[in-house]
Amino acid sequence: MMHSIVVYTLGTYLAFGITIAQVSVKPLDPSASDLADAFPEVTTQNALGTRLIRWTDCQKKFPGSISVIRQAYSDFNVIANTEGVYKDIQWDTAAALEFLGPDALNKNQQSQIQAVFANLATVSQGWLPYPFTHWIHARCDDPELKCTPPKNDPCRRPNPNIQAKYLAYAANPGSFNDIDYPYINFCPSFFELRNLKDAMAYGKGSSGYSPYNMVNYKNQAEVMFHEISHLYLGADSSLGDTPNPAVLDFEITYFDSNGIYRRDGAYGPLRAKILAKFKPDNPDEALTTGWYVQRNADNLAQFALAKYVQGQIGTYPFLPQLHGTRIDGPPTTRWDASISVLDVEEGNGQLLFNSTELDNVDLLSPPVQCWSENGDSDVAPDPVNISALADDSFYPQEYLAQVAQWFEDLNFKKGIPLDTAIGTGGDLNANFPKWFILDDGQQHDMKDMYYHLRDKACQNICDETKIANTPSNLVRATRQGESGCEYSVKISNAKELYFYTSNDGQSCYEATELMLQKYSTTKAAFWINGPNPYEFYQLGVRDVNTGGPGGSSHSPFPNDGAHLGYLHLACRRSDGTLDLFYRFELKLSNWDDGDWGKSIQHEADKCEIALGTDGWKYEPEDANDAFAFADGTKPDHWSRWRLALTIPNRCGERSVEKVLGLSDGSVRCPRGSHWAEVDMFAS
């Protein structure tokens, strides 16, 4: 049965098949079992809106994935409701000009484009003219087998040894398929992306021009935006263009700088900008630039994300950019990977796109060669041949002046060479916490923790009350010279994380970025001496209240048991005699797989395929229970289950190690009443 499929990929393109327009009638309600985990929850106070249901195979294949998808859906709603997106698009501003096209080439589509964004903003809350609930089937079972295409799949990168990766794909119900609700399928690569919050922290915390590069803000909410725009209920659309045209995925064709014909999906910020700058050369005036961009999902998603990022960082993220001529300048001009510029030249009557730069710019969306050749209903519409780009006459003078300033800045960009020597200390131990819990209740990995400190230190802000979402009593800020600072954060009773800078400014950003990209999760200390005289930057983890570089010190942290939250684990077991079972018990804190611990159960089930686990329990800890971890903190959950005595090789303990990301042999559950706690900071 051919399904109606529209796909968002990590550098891949899938042709979209025949679909039937949504019928404007009240959809049937799903069964009670489907509604059990509906998101948002169905209540009498929240009766309308569009909900995710069913979650087919998600928890089974990707433990914790349901909470990830729910967060992406909530974050999609945040992006969709950005000022200047859901209403009052300013068509003469950079984001609109670069992702939706210049006014003269999209004016006939502006009202429909705005209507699509307005409808997307109301998806989760409920929308008119259909005042009732809609449903999206969330699934991870890959019904079209697109998540992992075979090596001979036509959707492949130019390098045949590298397989394409899909992030997600969506389908609308119609007479050519047997699905009852529109669905979005989430592929493994979707869960490798950052959520919106972490993507913002990563992008904002990057050095050089990286905070202005849209590639660095790639996130799960953007993918959700892209997929929901494909659904008729999202864009209020149909293939009949009423009230809005169906949103699809276009291909673009062009010649690279070697004169080789290329065919890519119009995904990612750079290729979306190419499509929005495309000037059609055909007699049909209806097929303008706007006709294409309003039908390409990633032009809509990239515009919305760009406006959201602009609101968060206070300026428009202008990279990557197209450039009409090759940039000339000193040898260091293009050293910085954060500068993404695509050179476009003319040769033999053709536009030539620099293929090396194009391949490198969209790091999360590399080009592919992908189209269907079998002649069936999955054949893609004709690709868009990028034969001409709109020239400066189509753009406002204010925007052209802005672009000129961007390129002037890029031309004279200099900084720390990428091969700058980095000194390192010992390795972090294998069980060092993968995350810490801040006041926002979210998990933050080591790199994100360092970025929180870098955000202030490199701005010459040395104030323990200014670190985002971090209790000031767990922070020390010590001024170093005129513009340096050492931040220390108490992460446990025995350890502190530190961030030392001798200077603020660009060198601070660039030196610390080089280090963080290499060693933030592996080394206990790393430093750069330079690049200029008297500059020194060092980051790492050390014993609490230990002196820092150059004899620096801070007021001592008290030994009061206060520190950031991290994973705690203790276990024990009892060996049955009459019933021939091991009985495992766990105490945990600061861990949640979103499925009541069942990721551990599913892994332990593999220990004994025939019997699996028995008597599984995962419950909130009783506040009156006397147990406490070694640092005095209390668990927030306990778990208990049984496995047959015949299981080999510590399989029960190994299951816990695997799910929690702990090193082999670190979980030892002693027999009896004694609890054995895993020391996350042991050398």
Helix (H) or strand (E) segment spanning residue 536? strand 536-543
Q: How confident is the model at residue 683 (pLDDT cuts 50, 70, 90)?
A: low
Expressed in percent and rounded to 5, the helix, strand and coil fractions of the chain are 30, 25, 50
Q: Is the confidence at residue 610, as pLDDT, over 60?
A: yes
Q: Could you report the per-residue pLDDT of 487-543, keeping only the tens digit for each?
A: 999 999 999 999 999 998 878 888 898 899 889 889 999 999 877 778 999 999 999
Question: In this structure, is residue 561 part of a structural domain?
Answer: no
Q: Say what the alpha-carbon torsion angle 101, 105, 107, 109 is, to the nearest 10 degrees.
A: -70
Q: Decide if pLDDT at 648 tops 70.
A: yes
* Residues 44 and 121 reside in one and the same domain: yes
Residues 450 and 595 in one domain: no
Same domain, 379 and 479: no
Domain count within the chain: 3
- Local structure of residue 662 (DSSP, 8 states): P
Tell whether 302 and 157 lie within a shared domain. yes
- Based on the domain organization, do 179 and 66 belong to the same domain? yes
pLDDT band per the 50, 70, 90 thresholds, residue 392: confident
How does strand 495-501 pair with strand 536-543? antiparallel
The CATH number of whichever domain residue 153 belongs to comes to 3.40.390.10
H or E segment to which residue 507 belongs: helix 506-519
- Cα distance between residue 654 and residue 651, in whole Å: 5
Per the structure, the complete domain to which residue 433 belongs is given by 423-551
Q: Do residues 615 and 567 touch, judged by C-beta distance below 8 A?
A: no
Is the model's pLDDT at 545 over the cut of 80?
yes
Q: For residue 605, give the CATH number of its domain.
A: 3.30.1360
Mean pLDDT of 539-548: 94
6 closest CA partner among 196, 136, 140, 168? 168
Predicted local distance difference test score (pLDDT) of residue 327: 33
Top mean pLDDT of 220-229, 259-268, 364-373 is at: 220-229
pLDDT band per the 50, 70, 90 thresholds, residue 612: confident
Structure tokens of 128? 């008119």
pLDDT band at 89 (very low <50, low <70, confident <90, very high): very high
Q: What is the pLDDT of residue 344?
A: 52
Q: Give the strands of the sheet with 495-501, arranged side by side.
A: 423-424, 525-529, 536-543, 495-501, 484-490, 475-480
Residues 310 and 406 in one domain: yes
Query: What is the C-alpha to C-alpha distance for residues 89 and 260, in angstroms, rounded to an integer?
Result: 38
Q: What is this structure's pTM? A: 0.56
Same domain, residue pair 457 and 387: no
More confident residue, 328 or 679: 679
Mean pLDDT of the chain: 80
Condensed to tens digits (0 to 9), the pLDDT of residues 124-168 reads 755 444 445 788 999 999 998 888 755 554 444 443 333 446 789
**Do 431 and 402 belong to one domain?**
no
**Which positions ≥6 away from 360 have C-beta within 8 Å?**
340
Q: Provide the 8-state DSSP code for 319.
A: B
Domain assignment present for residue 417? The answer is no
Whether residue 189 lies inside any domain: the answer is yes
The predicted model gives 355-374 an average pLDDT of 38
Query: Is 580 domain-assigned?
Result: yes
Band of pLDDT at residue 478, cut at 50, 70 and 90: very high
What pLDDT score does 11 carry? Answer: 32
Average pLDDT over residues 167-191: 84
Q: What is the DSSP string of 571-619?
A: EEEEE-SSS-EEEEEEEEES---SSTTHHHHHHHHTTSTTT--EEEEEE
C-alpha radius of gyration, the chain, whole number: 27
Residues 98 and 161 in one domain: yes
Same domain, 590 and 459: no
Measured between alpha carbons, how far is residue 466 from residues 12, 513, 596 in Å? Answer: 42, 21, 35
DSSP 214-229: GGGG--HHHHHHHHHH
For β-strands 165-172 and 183-186, DSSP reports them as antiparallel
Clarify whether residues 615 and 541 are in a common domain.
no
